[in-house]
Amino acid sequence: MAVATALCLPAAGGALLQLPPESEGEAIAYRTSRPTDPVARLAEDLEAGRASLAWSGKNGYLSALLQALGVPASSQMLVFSKTSFQRELIAPHTPRAIYFNDDVYVGWVPGGRVVEISAADPRLGGTFYALDQRRSSRPRIARQTDECLQCHESALTRGVPGHVIRSVFSDPSGAPILSAGSYVTTHESPLEERWGGWYVTGTHGSQRHLGNQVFRSAAQAARPSLDAGANVTDLRKRFDSTRYLTPHSDIVALLVAEHQTHVHNLIARAGYGVRAALHSERMLNRELGRPESHRSESTAGRIRASVEPLVRGLLFSGEAPLAAPVRGTSGFAGEFARRGPRDSRGRSLRDLDLARRLFRHPCSYLIYSRAFDGLPPEAREQVYRRMWDVLEGRDTGAEWAHLTQYDRDSIRAILLETKPEFARFRPEASVRPAPTSAPEAARAR
């Protein structure tokens, strides 16, 4: 079963990766380990009778499920490409709706026999579930560990169970034109490669994307005319939007989700790599009679290598810039920005920019997430030390050239007040104050 934001399409060359050793080894034991994510907890509460879900004739358990998981309806994104396991129900006139919060993704299609759910588990990475839509006195959320991983554990997810958003060239039925190729979408993707097979509501100026349209052939896809899908704010003429919770497929929600799935995968990849390294060292220490606390340079190197891609993702290295302001239609932007901690000056890592880039302060809000906090302490320590290197200017590599001094100072100041663990690894010589005036911030931009 494909769930949330994934497409069940083969990777380049036609073959999907097999399970990497660490996912089924003792360090992870993916299939037999008990998840601790919000969906797993809700499933346990339903099974024990501590929770219930109301059924609706309009969308089954969808509305009640979103409420139980704290997922906002304003996050709705609509995908019409036939890229879910319920593909026979998906088409441009019946798109699949996807909703999300910081931890959970929910997929629903009109007439579907299940609601598809996935989560970012603190230890296991992407975990996948199905909720039967048939009315029941005891609705049940069932974990899925086999069919989903055919698509959700591959090179596209960095070899760990995870999430992926794809952009495809869909024909008028919604089927992807495989010969035309496709794109994996992250915050590094230029807009002109995004949202093929998706509806997109919002304005974005002169920028163009692949959303809101279909293609009749690979030849047409090779030379697409993108004006027809641009700056669409009303989808009512394209399908019956009254069947959905909102009439929107918000462009800001799409931008945020593409960043989030990317960083969720990086968190999972870092966790798998560090746990595997520590497990191997424990076994070797035991075999060689060394102290349990012994740390070899080899293990330290594996930890550094596992964590570095996550540091780049958290600090938006390689982010594709926006060439014009972006504005959504659903109210998602305001609702998203209101969540999460703020520092004493009212700043938050959830503050959106939407003019030059996605966020005003380019450090991911997922640093506050359950998934990040569930990383091994050794992984989090390495993240913080590397972030201090970058924010204090000790690492001046090209991958950090997008960060102005104002960006570095603001990120550091926000984290010092809102992420106590970050402060524990502050270098003793770090005393630079953050800028205090709006004019200075404006000049930095």
Give residue 284's pLDDT band: very low, low, confident or very high (50, 70, 90). confident
The gap between the terminal CA atoms of the chain, to the nearest Å, is: 45
Judge whether 388 and 427 are in contact, CB under 8 Å: yes
DSSP state of 173: T
Q: Where are the domains of the chain?
A: 21-252, 277-429+436-444
- For residues 22 and 380, the model is more confident at 380
- Give yes or no for a contact between 95 and 79, defined as CB atoms under 8 angstroms apart: yes
Q: Is the pLDDT of residue 84 over 90?
A: no
Supply the pLDDT for residue 27.
76
Type of residue numbered 238: R
275: how many CB neighbours lie within 10 A of its CB? 21
Q: For position 283, what pLDDT does the model report? A: 78
* Spatial separation of the C-alpha atoms in residues 434 and 412, rounded to whole Å: 8
**What is the band of 360 on the pLDDT scale with cuts at 50, 70, 90?**
very high
pLDDT tens by residue, 197-207: 999 999 999 99
Residue-wise burial string across 59-69, b where 16 or more C-beta atoms lie within 10 A, e elsewhere:
bbbbbbbbebb
Strand partners, 259: none
What number is the average pLDDT over the span 289-294?
80
Q: Quick one: pLDDT at residue 3?
A: 37
pLDDT at 290: 83
Mean pLDDT of the chain: 89
> Has residue 6 got a pLDDT over 70?
no
CB 81 within 8 A of CB 226: no
- Calculate mean pLDDT across residues 430-435: 51
Residue 99: in which H helix or E strand, if any? strand 96-100
pLDDT digits (tens, 9 = 90+) for 215-225: 999 999 888 88
- The CA distance from 163 to 10, in Å, is 15
pLDDT > 50? residue 277: yes
- Two tokens, residue 381: 């320590």
Stated pTM of the model: 0.90
Q: Would the pLDDT of 77 be above 70? A: yes
Residue tagged 């990497």 (tokens) = 20
Residues 6+ apart with CB under 8 A from 300: none
Given pLDDT bands bounded at 50, 70 and 90, which one contains residue 129?
Answer: very high
**Neighbour count for residue 222 (Cβ, 10 Å):** 12
**Three-state DSSP state, 200:** coil
Band (pLDDT 50/70/90 cuts) for residue 31 is confident
Per-residue pLDDT tens for 162-180? 799 999 999 999 999 999 9
pLDDT of residue 155: 58
pLDDT class of 7 with cuts at 50, 70, 90? very low
**Residues near 192 by Cβ (< 8 Å), separated by ≥ 6?**
207, 208, 209, 210, 226
* Mean pLDDT in residue range 291-314: 91
At residue 20, does pLDDT exceed 80?
no
Q: E strands, 138-293, where?
A: 141-144, 166-168, 182-184, 198-199
